[in-house]
Amino acid sequence: MRILHTMLRVGDLDKSIAFYTEVLGMCLLRQKDYPKGEFTLAFLGYGNEAENTAIELTYNWGKSDYQIGTGFGHIAINVADVSQAVEVAKQLGVEVIRDAGPMNAGETMVAFLKDPDGYEIELLSKKF
């Protein structure tokens, strides 16, 4: 297992991309609009996602601001099999927020758990 990305909700995607690329020297690795879900995802980092952790910026269309604390989304962990990982988590008494299934407006298999402090952890099976 390894950490894939940390997600932050942003109110101005272009401004945020400029900050992470120009101020912090990251590269825009990929970006995609999800019209059915009315959001855009942009992944930034210091190298190929197959070998490096990234920052996921989520822009929810029409939402321009968040309070600090509500902007944090989740930590993503790559697992071999999302359904199997969820079953193990359930057996260990972990709260499952979203059972294994395709992501909203996409096809990637995902699930969400809560850590002991209530932080969301996304599990996904992703081949690089």
Average pLDDT, the chain: 93
Written as six digits, the tokens of 94 are 């972990």
pLDDT of residue 65: 87
**Residue 128's pLDDT band (boundaries 50, 70, 90)?**
low
The residue among 105 and 15 whose pLDDT is bigger is 15
Which residue among 38, 49, 56, 122 is the active-site one? 122
Mean pLDDT of 69-90: 92
pLDDT of residue 124: 93
- Angstrom distance (rounded) from CA 58 to CA 100: 21
- Over 90: is that where the pLDDT of 94 sits? yes
pLDDT of residue 66: 85
Question: Residue 3, Cα to own-chain centre: how many angstroms?
Answer: 10
Q: How many residues does the chain have?
A: 128
Q: Is residue 122 annotated as a catalytic residue, yes or no? A: yes
